[in-house]
Amino acid sequence: MANIGIGDAMKVKSNIGKYIDESPYKREYIQKHFNKSRNTIYNWCVGNSYPSVPELFELAKLLNRWVDDLYEEVKEKKDLCKMNLEELDYSPRVYNLLKRNGINSVNDLLNFDLERIQSLGPKAKNEIESKLSKIRKEFED
């Protein structure tokens, strides 16, 4: 399903098509009920456009859903390799250690042999690997 943007801050995914398909109503009935074209109903279903607020409430009632059910927020995932070190929230010691070794991004960190960092103790190495592991897991979901 397509996503529609609300400003730059949030993206939402339409669930309207899914709930129409699960309802006893066909899309043609929805089209006539709202006096909309087939194309408009299709666009509501895939998220290319959306109903007005009064239409949204009426549609939710017709489909026996909450208005909140008809759309859901989609959290955008950043490109893991483009993330800066600041976004990883390392301790000041580890952050400074990485910066001194020319590591400025996750991409740099992924391509750097940690064994080459002088004065990298087990605690600092564990912090680096732990955060990278959590980030990788988050981006796999």
Mean pLDDT, the chain, integer: 84
Which has the minimum average pLDDT: 12-21, 27-36, 87-96, 129-138? 129-138
Q: Is residue 64 a contact partner of residue 74, using CB atoms and an 8 Å limit? A: no
d(CA 140, CA 86): 21
Grouping H, G, I as helix, E, B as strand and the rest as coil, residue 91 is coil
Domain 80-140 has CATH 3.30.450.40: no
Predicted confidence (pLDDT) per residue in 67-101, tens digit: 999 998 876 655 666 777 887 888 898 898 888 88
The answer to whether residue 122 scores a pLDDT higher than 50 is yes
Grouping H, G, I as helix, E, B as strand and the rest as coil, residue 95 is helix
Q: Could you count the other beta carbons within 10 Å of the beta carbon of residue 64?
A: 11
| pLDDT > 90: percent of the chain | 39
The answer to whether residue 140 scores a pLDDT higher than 70 is no
* Sheet of 10-14, strands arranged across: 3-6, 10-14, 71-74
Token duo for residue 69: 């059910």
d(CA 19, CA 14): 10
Residue 61: which of 33, 100, 97 has the closest Cα?
Answer: 33
Handedness of CA 83, 114, 128, 86 (dihedral sign): negative
Domain ranges of the chain: 3-74, 80-140
The answer to whether residue 55 scores a pLDDT higher than 90 is yes
The answer to whether residue 5 scores a pLDDT higher than 50 is no
Could you tell me which residue, 42 or 7, shows the higher pLDDT?
42
Q: Is residue 129 a contact partner of residue 121, using CB atoms and an 8 Å limit? A: no
Phi, psi of 91 (to 5 degrees): -65, 155
3-74 CATH, one of 1.10.260.40, 3.40.50.620, 1.10.1040.10, 3.90.550.10: 1.10.260.40
The predicted structure's pLDDT at residue 2: 47
Which has the minimum average pLDDT: 20-34, 54-68, 74-88? 74-88
